[in-house]
Structure 1
Amino acid sequence: MSDGVGGEVDLTDPVLASEAELAFEGALRPRSLSEFVGQTRVRGQLQLLLTAATIQQRTPDHILLAGPPGLGKTTLAMIVAHESGRPLRMSSGPAIQHAGDLAAILSSLVPGEVLFIDEIHRMARSAEEMLYLAMEDFRIDIMVGKGAGATSVPLDLSPFTLVGATTRAGLLPNPLRDRFGFTAHLEFYDDAELAQVLARAATLLGLDIDRDAIVEISGRCRGTPRIANRLLRRVRDYALVHTGRADLATVNAALDLYDVDALGLDRLDRAVMQIILTRFGGGPVGLNTLAVSVGEESETIEAVVEPFLVRIGLITRTPRGRVATSAAWRHFGLSHGDTALPIDDL
């Protein structure tokens, strides 16, 4: 098998196979805006922002990337650093739980460095308040001492660009959100864009795959490049074990094995839909009742399952609960009043 970067990899050697997989992961991420597929409007806006900063010989404005998981926020942060010719420092909101954690990061930045904070809405409130002054004036105030003798010592910072990523922009406090010079809202990909992502990944993976097989995968990955690449790798595994190449029949067999149906629904999605359709007659069903019925946390249903089901029109949210649409009844081949399908059959 080709390693996708100019050589053959001995898959019987676990070390070489693991290194090839890591090399593939690194090569999979585009290195420039011109290589990045999709998000046309955001790419144009970022290109203008970065080019203007280069002409003026200054650090680019702070950037907030908002959107669902898997759409390329981390990749865009890497591209911002690469196209600016600046080093990149990466952290995450959950890792910054005290103002001191943020102060240590900010004080060690070199001039012009790009600081990427993933899930920035999960940062501690004390760190958020410190970040206000750092973003605006490139300085922070350090408290020295305790009690009545405590004093505030200002510490100047090197100019930097903050790139924040969030899946829940509404949880960011307004003072923090307003300090970003540019906010990009990433949208789900259409099937044609996902086909481009898959074709590029297949080339890097050294996978011989038919065009109609790529089209089939693109229709099942929920508009998300991360899911598209994950499904492609499962198809690769199935082809490696069974058929040797990835045609349409191989794709269908592989995705059926991994419980991904024609709309991209996985087992949990179908379990939720089956509960609504057959146990509650199409709804309405409350969130907590639904979560208990499928044995999952209500947060998982609300944050992971429900947005996709609403987006593709299988359920609607009402004040009384979740209700299945006519499209849901058709997709599962049921009519109102059917209650005989066990979950394991879906």
Structure 2
Amino acid sequence: MTSDARNPRARILGTGRALPAAPENAAPSDTPPADGAASDASAGKARRRAAAGETTSDLATRAARAALDAAGIGPRDLEMIILATSSGDAPMPATAVYVQQKLGAELIPSFDLSASLTGLLYGLSVANQFVTAGTMRHVLVIGADLLSRRVDPRDRAAAALFGDGAGAVVIGPAAGDGRGILSVSLRADGRKADVLQVPGGGSAEPLTPERLADRRHTLRVNQLELRQAVEERLGGQALAALATAGLAPADLDWVIPHHADAHVAALLSERLGCPKQRVIGALDGGSAAGASAGSVAIALDEALRDGRVQPGHRVLLCALGGGLTWGSAVVRM
């Protein structure tokens, strides 16, 4: 799943993000912890929570409009909408069709993609194929999640990890100046499917009063195994994406992981041999923290708009999430 790194044919034309108005504490201090809930130093950090009545498609649409404005095109210029989410408006239909409706786009293909925190990179890969093949000119890729609606509020450790937000990118033809998507590398390991999951509510476990009482419809995360997977997989996959792009770690200007806490920043800094200051993300509990499929695009948009990422910069995007899924992309902005 690669582009010609020497002459990329697709690039990111514009980015956007949408966040709930204000952060809230992960769990009220008087909320009893769930049985067996793991303690975590990050518990109690502020994570942004959507307001009552605010939906995944609302945030996704706001992020999409910002990305379209940045790209200099309108909704009717789009030829496809891909929405990466694990917390759509409803089990059916795809939340992407609500985004299509709210944007006022044409009757274009619009679908959801489920790859947890890696969803934005999976969507980027799909869009890259269509644009590179010349089949489509403008594809909108959105990562959006309202995982606060999926977290058991008694599980303070999980609640501290996940918040709400959306990020979007518009993919279009490259201009022949070397800027574009240089490589995308994706992986999955279904043997680790239970590390991060919502077990109830599907065909395997239809919801019943008993399963609801047991909170099988809420997010379950094995934080120890998830962290081990990040340590084992994220750095290696990043190096693979760089090799495919014909680049060395020293060629990178920035690294944007799905959630750059101090541990992840140190890990990537060591594996890639780059300063921690070059790792962009939620080091200070910022707005990209815990936004799941939206995290990478949110952080990229922030860095573009505040001037850290400049035209021509080489940026590594990487993520790991439920599935387990993980991947990396190298982009020259």
TM-score, normalised with respect to structure 2: 0.24
Q: Which is helix-richer, 1 or 2?
A: 1
TM-score, normalised with respect to structure 1: 0.24
Q: RCO higher in 1 or 2 (8 Å CA, sep ≥ 6)?
A: 2
Q: Which is strand-richer, 1 or 2?
A: 2
